[in-house]
A = this chain, B = another copy of it.
């Protein structure tokens, strides 16, 4: 994460974390729109080129947690017990991905969007992330449930991602009384997983098989 740490020989926060903290401070002080990448880099005490080692656009700073969670979800799905049912395995993978996000580590760009003016950027850069999650889940379902048509795998994945997004949103809005993110995700996706699981079981019981 931070190739400089071993060289300076003392514990320090990594550059992306410092950049994220600097960005959050500046967005709070003067708003998202009026903050430049140069200002963020200067506040973090790094060169502008360092910013671009970790982020492609200013908006990417808003999505550090989620952008790190998407590959973790993919890896968790690759690691699930091959004997488990796909829709149950999905909940396990979502929960284990969420378990690495402590309750205190709420996405600041979402939680403080009104104060920071991050709302429009979140709206314009959020769908790409949502669709990346849908893709990860679609590929998992297509691999693990051959009885699902490709369109069905994608529909199930989009509904699961929608439920998970709402669960995460509720968790963010819950304030300091919030419980674990994993429970909020489960609450958002469980009925969807059950619904698709039942639909699939009915079909295979009825002898109808796709492909």
Contact = CB atoms under 8 A, between A and B. Distances in A.
| Majority secondary structure of chain A interface residues (helix, strand, loop or mixed) | helix
A201 to B, nearest CB: 11
A191 B196 contact: yes
A135 to B, nearest CB: 12
A38 interface: no
Sort chain A's interface into a size bin.
Answer: 35 or more
Contacts of A158: 162-163, 165-166, 188
A210 interface: no
A61 B187 CA distance: 37
A199 B191 CA distance: 6
A193 interface: yes
B192 A198 contact: no
Q: How many copies does the complex hold?
A: 2
A151 interface: yes
A32 to B, nearest CB: 15
A170 B195 CA distance: 20
Contacts of A123: 127-128, 131
B194 A199 contact: yes
A169 interface: yes
Given A123-B127, A159-B163, 19 more contacts: A134-B166, A151-B166, A155-B163, A155-B187, A155-B188, A155-B189, A156-B191, A158-B163, A158-B165, A158-B166, A159-B160, A159-B162, A159-B189, A162-B162, A162-B163, A191-B195, A191-B196, A194-B198, A195-B198
19 contacts: A124-B125, A124-B127, A127-B130, A130-B130, A134-B166, A151-B187, A154-B169, A156-B191, A158-B162, A158-B166, A159-B160, A159-B162, A159-B166, A162-B162, A162-B163, A190-B199, A192-B192, A194-B195, A195-B196
Instruction: Give 3 closest A-B pairs by Cβ, nearest first.
Output: A195-B195, A162-B162, A158-B166
